[in-house]
Amino acid sequence: MVDASTSAHGDLTLKNLTKNFGDFIAVDDLDLVIPEGSFFALLGPSGCGKTTTLRMVAGLEEPTSGSIFIGNTDITYEKPYKRPVNTVFQNYALFPHLSIYENVAFGLRRRGVKDVDTQVQKALELVELTHLSSRKPNQLSGGQQQRIALARAIVNRPALLLLDEPLGALDLKLRRAMQIELKWIQTEVGITFVHVTHDQEEAMTMADTIAVMNEGKIEQMGSPADLYDDPRTAFVANFLGQSNLIKGLITDRADNSGIVDVFGTKLSLPTIRNHAHDSSVLLGIRPEKIRIAPAGAAMNGNILDGGVISDASYIGVSTQYQVEMPWGQELMVFEQNDDGTPPLAKGDPVVMSWEPIFTFGLAGDQDATAGSEANPDSE
Amino acid sequence: MSTALLQATTHEKKPSITKKKLLPYWLLAPGIIWLVIFFLVPIYQLISTSTQTQGYGIGTYVQTYRFSNFIDAITSSKAQLIRSFEYAFLATAFALIISYPLAYAVAFKSGRWKNTLLVLIVAPFFCSFLLRTVAWEQILGEQGLVIKFLRFAHIMGAQGHLTATPFAVVAGLTYNFLPFMTLPLYASLERIDIRMMEASGDLYANALTTFRKVTIPLSMPGVVAGTLLTFIPAAGDYINAELLGNPGTKMIGNVIEARYLEIVDYPGAAALSLILMVTILILVMAYVKRAGTEELV
């Protein structure tokens, strides 16, 4: 039963991977290396090609071109049942005619493993559902089914575990709990997890490395903090959290930081965070990094004056302001309610500032709203 | 305001409580009346007739509680009774073998042809059962193309024939009840989530194992429904044996028909009908219990 490909292990490597459905390019010349043992997230809006990529790795979809390797073994055209890969499906796809025990034992029995019972018990212990082993899947809650789907995959000790929006069907509270549990289980078993999701919070909570996908390509890849603090494209800046992106012109370049002219105001931009290819730049700053005060207050750092509050919403931990700038753009500011000052009101003239180090610069020729319509947080 | 509203509604409800309780029974009444007239009364009639004996004159019977009618019926028609179940079993088995791949192809592989194929499966119903069987008599008969081809290819000698054989009867039964097998099979196969098969492949099962361990178990409700819908009418059928068979292929349906209409032995016919009914009922109950599909249906 066990041959070269079923026992392959190592990094997952995708080389020039492409998948077309008719004229539609779902995955476009993708190159990617996922290190063995990492928790990797493919993050992107629906239709960005992340699920297609996952299905090609699982063997459920055949690539149009390119190749897939696990370690040094080429599995591009290998049958799904011969790959050392297991999947946690979006709606779990538990077998309704088999008990929980038999569901978990399914993969072991197919491979003719000897100590099925010990391994099934161990997997059920890992997800803390030993007491449900004789039930049928439809007698379990969504969260329990999710954990059984995980146990059914993990019990096989694959080189690679694929998770296709595994928490999508759960409610918010359960989702949060499962995020922590999944991360813990991954650390415990040490299997490479490749997690596909459109939920940026889910990806950031669990993954060591996130690849943000858009239109079949990877926009940017890095640790959650990298992606959030130093996005390289407007899509990433808007899809992962929210960003204020303001058009500007680089007027001065120094070793450590440059000066950007933003509608007449000079702002400082750290050189290492400047990703513009010429002097045209989209200057970015995250809403929670901005301090806000009534006009005329003393401020330091990067200062933007002349704004008027057009909307203020108090949401407990913070107050979210929309500030209309003289050039017509609305900027977002999230202000922690931690200093006892009364919140500012609609119509108040304000001054804003932030630490220059938080500023990032993106190429000025892109659409400043790219990715924001795909971000579920930004309606 | 809200208390007043509450009082108003409870007040309004009170006199209608008895009416409300009776409502379900009123809604069930047409069905119950139908069952009484068209099921309970005939069944009572049948049971009652089965123990009667010949009175004075042909076609008149008196109730004498003669239970040995049953023993007479069995001893005189044992061969036909056993043959009925044999033929019905064979026809069901053949129908299952033919229908499963057909239903599978329509459910999973037919793409945009799905509806067309379903209409084609149902198409025989647009023509009478009797006519279609007569048509088979022609097709398999002496002047039919099948015989001509078989003789031309020297598969069959000049004396060989297809009609008036057990083969023709079983083939006719299989053909006539095929849609009753295909449709429930299709319905249960079509309901299977394609991701179950993907999950099975993902868990190291090849196509054949997936079919054995996932597809077949998940389609069991269709298999049970299809085999019942084929076996039950096939066991009681007499048209196929009449038109495609010979005296040696008579089924229990033929015997019952002859007793009612030719010999005019109503008690004997009624006793045989009851024996057939009870036997089928016992077989079906044992089968359903064995298949254990209660949870899946």
Q: What average pLDDT does the segment B141-170 reach?
A: 83
| Residue in A182, A185, A184 with CA at minimum distance from that of residue A197 | A182
* pLDDT(B273) > 90: yes
- Give the pLDDT of residue B105: 95
B60 located within any domain: no
The CATH number of residue B103's host domain is 1.10.3720.10
Residues of B in contact with A94 (CB under 8 A): 199
A231 located within any domain: no
Query: Does the beta-carbon distance from B199 to A87 stay under 8 Å?
Result: yes
> CA nearest B212 in A: which residue?
A110
- Residue A306 and residue A177 in one domain: no
> CA nearest B293 in A: which residue?
A97
Answer whether B294 touches A (CB < 8 Å): no
- Residue A189 and residue A248 in one domain: no
Q: Which of A93, A94, A97 sits opposite B296 (nearest CB)?
A: A97
**pLDDT tens digits, B197-232:** 999 999 999 999 999 999 999 999 999 999 999 999
Q: What average pLDDT does the segment B10-27 reach?
A: 70
- Give the C-alpha separation, A302 to A357, whole Å: 9
B27 located within any domain: no
Q: Which of B195, B209, B296 sits opposite A89 (nearest CB)?
A: B195
In which band, very low, low, confident or very high, does the pLDDT at A177 lie, cut at 50, 70 and 90? confident
* pLDDT(A140) > 50: yes
A248 located within any domain: yes
**pLDDT tens digits, B219-267:** 999 999 999 999 999 999 999 998 998 888 899 999 999 988 888 888 9
The tally of domains found in chain B comes to 1
A143 located within any domain: yes
- Give the C-alpha separation, B16 to B83, whole Å: 59
- Residue A131 and residue A24 in one domain: yes
A-proximal residues of B, 214-253, CB under 8 Å: 214, 217-218, 220
Q: What average pLDDT does the segment B153-172 reach?
A: 83
B270 located within any domain: yes
Q: What average pLDDT does the segment A131-143 reach?
A: 92
**pLDDT tens digits, B81-127:** 999 999 999 999 999 999 999 999 999 998 899 999 999 999 988 99
- Give the C-alpha separation, B58 to A305, whole Å: 115
Q: What average pLDDT does the segment A166-176 reach?
A: 84
Mean per-residue pLDDT over chain A, rounded: 90
**pLDDT tens digits, B45-59:** 999 999 888 877 777
- Give the pLDDT of residue B297: 40
> CA nearest A162 in B: which residue?
B202
B122 located within any domain: yes
Residues of A in contact with B202 (CB under 8 A): 58-60, 80-81, 85-87, 153
Query: Does the beta-carbon distance from B196 to A58 stay under 8 Å?
Result: no
Instruction: Quote the pTM value.
Output: 0.80
- B196, B200, B204, B294: which to substitute to probe chain A, counting the most A Cβ within 10 Å? B204
A209 located within any domain: yes
- Residue A222 and residue A260 in one domain: no
Answer whether B12 touches A (CB < 8 Å): no
Report the residue count for chain A. Answer: 379
Write the ipTM.
0.81
Name the domain boundary from A170, A191, A226.
A226
- Residue A166 and residue A41 in one domain: yes
Residues of A in contact with B200 (CB under 8 A): 95, 106
- Residue A214 and residue A264 in one domain: no
**pLDDT tens digits, A269-324:** 999 999 988 889 999 999 999 999 998 888 889 999 999 999 999 888 889 999 99
Query: Does the beta-carbon distance from B296 to A107 stay under 8 Å?
Result: no
Query: Does the beta-carbon distance from B200 to A136 stay under 8 Å?
Result: no
CA distance B204 to chain A (A): 4
Q: Any idea what DSSP says for residue A198?
A: S
Instruction: Let me know if A315 is exposed, middle or buried by CB neighbors in 10 A (0-12, 13-18, 19+).
Output: exposed
User: Structural domain of residue A318, as residue ranges?
Assistant: 242-363
Q: Tell me if A179 sits within 8 A of A205, measured CB to CB.
A: yes
* pLDDT(B173) > 50: yes
Name the domain boundary from A179, A194, A226.
A226
- Residue A274 and residue A216 in one domain: no
- Residue A210 and residue A277 in one domain: no
> CA nearest B294 in A: which residue?
A97
B196 located within any domain: yes
Q: Which of B206, B217, B295 sits opposite A81 (nearest CB)?
A: B206
User: Residue A294, SS3?
Assistant: strand
Query: Does the beta-carbon distance from B202 to A60 stay under 8 Å?
Result: yes
Answer whether B192 touches A (CB < 8 Å): no
Name the domain boundary from A201, A226, A251.
A226
- Give the C-alpha separation, B117 to B122, whole Å: 9
Q: What are the two backbone dihedrals, phi and then psi, of residue A247, each rounded to the nearest 5 degrees?
A: -70, 135
CB-based burial, A349-375: b 16+ in 10 Å, e otherwise: ebbbbbebbbbbbbbbebebebbbebb
- A3, A87, A88, A113: which to substitute to probe chain B, counting the most B Cβ within 10 Å? A87
The tally of domains found in chain A comes to 2
B36 located within any domain: no
- Give the pLDDT of residue A375: 61
- Give the C-alpha separation, A28 to A6, whole Å: 27
- Residue A255 and residue A196 in one domain: no
- B195, B202, B208, B295: which to substitute to probe chain A, counting the most A Cβ within 10 Å? B202
- Give the C-alpha separation, B103 to B118, whole Å: 9
Residues of A in contact with B197 (CB under 8 A): none
The CATH number of residue A302's host domain is 2.40.50.140
Structure-model confidence comparison of residues A7 and B280, the more confident one: B280
Q: Which of A93, A97, A136 sits opposite B199 (nearest CB)?
A: A93
Please name the residue that has the structure tokens 């006539």: B176
- Give the pLDDT of residue A3: 53
Q: Which of B193, B205, B206 sits opposite A93 (nearest CB)?
A: B193
| Residue in A321, A334, A309, A243 with CA at minimum distance from that of residue A282 | A243
Give one DSSP letter per residue of B64-128, joined into a string. Answer: ---THHHHHHHHHHHHHHHHHHHHHHHHHHHHHHHHHHHHHIIIII-GGGHHHHHHHHHGGGGS-
> CA nearest B203 in A: which residue?
A107
A371 located within any domain: no
Count residue pairs from A and B with Cβ separation < 8 A: 65
B171 located within any domain: yes
| Residue in A342, A90, A348, A79 with CA at minimum distance from that of residue A195 | A90
**pLDDT tens digits, A52-93:** 999 999 999 999 999 999 998 999 999 999 999 999 998 899
Query: Does the beta-carbon distance from A110 to B205 stay under 8 Å?
Result: yes
B62 located within any domain: no
The CATH number of residue A146's host domain is 3.40.50.300
Answer whether B204 touches A (CB < 8 Å): yes
Mean per-residue pLDDT over chain B, rounded: 87
User: Structural domain of residue B161, as residue ranges?
Assistant: 77-291
Query: Does the beta-carbon distance from A95 to B199 stay under 8 Å?
Result: yes
**pLDDT tens digits, A37-52:** 999 999 999 889 999 9
* pLDDT(B67) > 90: no
Q: Hey, what are B115's tokens?
A: 């509806």
A232 located within any domain: no
In which band, very low, low, confident or very high, does the pLDDT at A372 lie, cut at 50, 70 and 90? confident
CA distances from A323 to A267, A313, A357 (A): 18, 12, 22
